[in-house]
Amino acid sequence: MRHAVVDNIVLKDGKVLLVKRAANLLEGGKWGLVGGFVDRDETVKEAATREIMEETGYTVSDITLLGIIDRPDRKGEDRQNISFVYFSNAVEKIGNADNESEAQAWFGLSELPGEEEFAFDHFYIIKLYADYLRKPFALPKIG
């Protein structure tokens, strides 16, 4: 069985917001993008906005679909999730993070933690975004 999820690259001042996953979660203790499952009766874009608010307290603007990852062999997955990957700009912090993360931090694209410190394939997703910045390609990227 496959599930629809969202992974979000939240940007501010040229940096990306990462969350350190809570120890009780799959891939706990590792850095990751903000994201989660798409709820029943919501669009993937609505899920992206909701997950960002729940996990960080930020409102966002300019939500753009970077790609859809549908590989059945995604790193670290216990299910074969299909990920809708968005990037957006942080606007205002109006809430608090939920209990799914132990920390939040902003990182420049050249200052990221090591690949082994990332949950799932989130390091790859950020590298995909960096590739898009260097040499834009048609969006969304599928695969």
pLDDT digits (tens, 9 = 90+) for 41-69: 999 999 999 999 999 999 999 999 999 99
Q: Which two tokens stand for residue 142?
A: 């599928």
Task: List the end-to-end C-alpha distance of the chain, in Å, as a whole number.
Answer: 18
Contact 34, 17 (CB under 8 A): yes
The rounded distance, in Å, linking the Cα atoms of 135 and 100 is: 34
pLDDT at 40: 94
pLDDT at 56: 96
The rounded distance, in Å, linking the Cα atoms of 85 and 123 is: 13
Q: What is the pTM of this model?
A: 0.93
Pairing of strands 31-32, 82-93: unpaired
Closest C-alpha to 83, from 96, 99, 66:
66
Domain 4-137 fold is: Nucleoside Triphosphate Pyrophosphohydrolase (3.90.79)
The rounded distance, in Å, linking the Cα atoms of 126 and 121 is: 9
pLDDT digits (tens, 9 = 90+) for 104-137: 999 999 999 999 999 999 999 999 999 999 999 9
Domain extent listing, the chain = 4-137
State the Cα angle at 29 between 68 and 66, rounded to 5°: 15
Helix (H) or strand (E) holding 103: strand 101-108
Contact 47, 82 (CB under 8 A): no
Number of Cβ atoms within 10 Å of the Cβ of 88: 22
